[in-house]
Structure 1
Amino acid sequence: MHALTVTPGRSGSLAVAEVPDPQPAEHELLVEGLALGVCGTDKEIAAGDYGWAPPGRDRLVLGHESLGRVRHAPDGSDFTEGDLVVGVVRRPDPEPCGACAHGEFDMCRNGRYTERGIKEVDGYGSTLWTVEQDYAVRLDPGLHRTGVLLEPTSVVAKAWDEVWRVGKRAWFEPRRALVTGAGPIGLLAALLGVQRGLDVHVLDRVTDGPKPDLVRRLGATYHAEDTAEVTKKLQPDVVIEATGAGSVVFDAITGTAPYGIVCLTGVSSTGRPLRIDAGTVNRDLVLENSVVLGSVNANLRHYRAAADALAKADPSWLEDLITRRVPLDRATDAFDAREDDVKVVVMLED
């Protein structure tokens, strides 16, 4: 079979290669790969900045944003041939910490987890792949074109879940949410915010291309002004931060309404000093009972919530979020950014 592979730590090693067909273990599904989403993590691995090959191997099959169709399921399985499925990314560590032992492997305390297509386990970027039944999520058949968005949606499903858990420490009826960044994570965060009945606003730098229209079609409001101006005007109850830009992060933190909650999902670059008034930030957080939290990855609960959210979404909106589809034999083209890219997907089927 063909697979998108890379040698972690070596820039320029990304290539489509012939690899042996996978052999499913007793409790695994054999899945025909349909599509693979490409995100910033994949690009970092391809650039040699990140990633770990399976033990004893030099190359890693890339890809953690999966979509496939079950070709074979074990006898007695809850899955059947033809089911549309996505594989979960993370696996608990071999000697589970308390969080992993309770199914909260997205909150692993000791860092010994593995991740498909990222850390020590082959990913889903191949024409065939296997996945343990317990780490497969069935999708609505109507998502056969867009179900590849499930993994990034699971990330924001977790972010919203965390926000609600924090908010429920006291009376909590948020009205207005601001999402900073209109990439795939930001747009999907906006989708889930709208589905929660909030007045959603999205902030990004661009003023043309597909992003403003995607936001408006959700019934949300698009902004391209300075972050501090937008937060001062809106005073959002909730901020989902999806840029990782240091100045945007701190403008968001200091611009919420009292009892505001800011959830950081964007990973910042290092080496960019930023001068802030730490005393004022601390004072505002304390006196207004505000919260800042970080959120990454997702567990099975979040994947299932994400599957429900995508099933309820406008199919044409999801379709338009995917702005470019690239065949597997030209998969490396998916790693070259274009001006109007939102979500780029590698098509694994013929």
Structure 2
Amino acid sequence: MRALTVVPLQPGSAEVRDVPDPPPGDGRLLVEGLALGVCGTDREIAAGEYGWAPPGRDRLVLGHESLGRVREAPAGSGFAPGDLVVGIVRRPDPRPCPACAHGEFDMCRNGEYTERGIKELDGYGSQLWSVEPQFAVALDAGLAETGVLLEPASVVAKAWDQVERVGARSYFAPERVLVTGAGPIGLLAALLGVQRGLDVHVLDRAEAGPKARAAGALGATYHSGPVAETAERLRPDVIIEATGAPPVVLDAIAGTAAYGVTCLTGVSSSGHRIPVDLGRANRSLVLENDVVVGSVNANPRHYTAAAQALAAADPAWLASLITRRVPLERFAEALESRPDDIKVVLTLGS
């Protein structure tokens, strides 16, 4: 079978090559790969910035945003041939740490977890892949074209879960949310906000284009001005930050109404230095009972919540988030970041 592979930490090593088919009869689902979402993590691994190959190997099969159809399923697995599935990314560490031992491996405390397509486990960027039934998520049949959005949707399902758990420390009835960043994470975060009946606002640098249209079609209000000014005007109860841009992060932290929650989902690159008035930030957080929480990855319950959210969404709106579909053999085009991209998807069919 053909697969997108890379030598981690070696720039320019990404290559589609023949790799062995998954071994049969090992208790796993055998899945025909349909599509693979491409995100910044994949681009960074392909650029040689990080990543870990499986032990004893030089190459890693890339890809963690999966979509496939079951070919073979062991008896009693809960799956059947023809089922539409997505594979969960992270696996608990082998010790395990207390979080992993309780099924919360997205919150692993010792860093010894593994991740498909990222850390020590082959990803889903192949024409066939296998997955343990307990790490597979069934999708509604209507998501055959857009189910590849499940993994990023699981990330924002966890973010909303974290916001609501933090808010529940006292009376919490949020009305307005500001999402900073209108990429896939930001727009899916906005979707889950709309589904919660909130007044949703989305802010991005682009003044017009597919991101603005997607936000408007969702029923959210779109903004392209400075974060601090927008937040001051809106006074949101919740901010979900999805850019990772340090100036945006700082303005988001200071931008909620009193007793607000800011959830950081964007990962910042290192090396950027900007002046910070830490005293002012501390004063605001303490005197207004504000909370800032970071959120990354997801566990099975978040995937399940995300699958329900996608099944309830407008199919045409979900389809609008996929702005480019690229055949596997032309993967280099998918790894290019273009101004009007929202989500780029590799098609895996032979």
| TM-score, with structure 1 as normaliser | 0.99
Partners of 1:85 and 1:138 within 8 A in 2: yes
Alignment-derived partner of residue 263 in structure 2: 263
What are the within-5 Å matches in structure 2 for residues 246-257 of structure 1?
246-257=246-257
Establish whether residue 31 from structure 1 lines up as the match of residue 31 from structure 2. yes
Alignment-derived partner of residue 21 in structure 2: 21
SS class of match (2:239) = strand
Alignment-derived partner of residue 199 in structure 1: 199
What are the within-5 Å matches in structure 2 for residues 1-350 of structure 1?
1-350=1-350
Q: CA deviation at 1:25?
A: 4.8
Partners of 1:24 and 1:130 within 8 A in 2: no
Q: CA deviation at 1:219?
A: 0.5
Offset from partner CA, 1:17-71 (integer Å, 9 cap, x none): 0011111453200000000000000000000001000000000000000000000
Q: Distance in 2 between matches of 1:162 and 1:337?
A: 30
Give the ranges of 4+ consecutive aligned residues of structure 1 lying more than 6 Å apart after TM superposition.
none
| TM-score, with structure 2 as normaliser | 0.99
Which shows bigger deviation, 173-182 or 332-341?
A: 332-341
Q: Distance in 1 between matches of 2:48 and 2:145?
A: 30
Q: CA deviation at 1:89?
A: 0.2
Q: CA deviation at 1:279?
A: 0.7
Percent identical pairs in the alignment equals 71
Q: CA deviation at 1:135?
A: 0.2
Q: Distance in 2 between matches of 1:309 and 1:80?
A: 23
In the alignment, residue 265 of structure 1 is paired with which amino acid?
T
SS class of match (2:76) = coil
In the alignment, residue 223 of structure 1 is paired with which amino acid?
H
In the alignment, residue 339 of structure 1 is paired with which amino acid?
P
Q: Distance in 1 between matches of 2:246 and 2:287?
A: 23
Q: CA deviation at 1:338?
A: 1.8
Count residues with an aligned counterpart.
Answer: 350
- Structure 2 gap segments, 5+ residues each: none
SS class of match (2:129) = strand
In the alignment, residue 78 of structure 1 is paired with which amino acid?
G
Q: CA deviation at 1:85?
A: 0.2
Offset from partner CA, 1:87-139 (integer Å, 9 cap, x none): 00000011110000000000000000000000000000000000000000000
SS class of match (2:346) = strand
Kindly report the root-mean-square deviation, in angstroms, between the aligned alpha carbons of the 2 structures: 0.7
Q: Distance in 1 between matches of 2:234 and 2:323?
A: 30
In the alignment, residue 234 of structure 1 is paired with which amino acid?
L
Q: CA deviation at 1:253?
A: 1.3
Q: Distance in 1 between matches of 2:136 and 2:206?
A: 37
Q: Distance in 1 between matches of 2:177 and 2:40?
A: 25
- Structure 1 gap segments, 5+ residues each: none
In the alignment, residue 22 of structure 1 is paired with which amino acid?
P
Q: Distance in 1 between matches of 2:342 and 2:166?
A: 30
Q: Distance in 2 between matches of 1:267 and 1:170?
A: 29
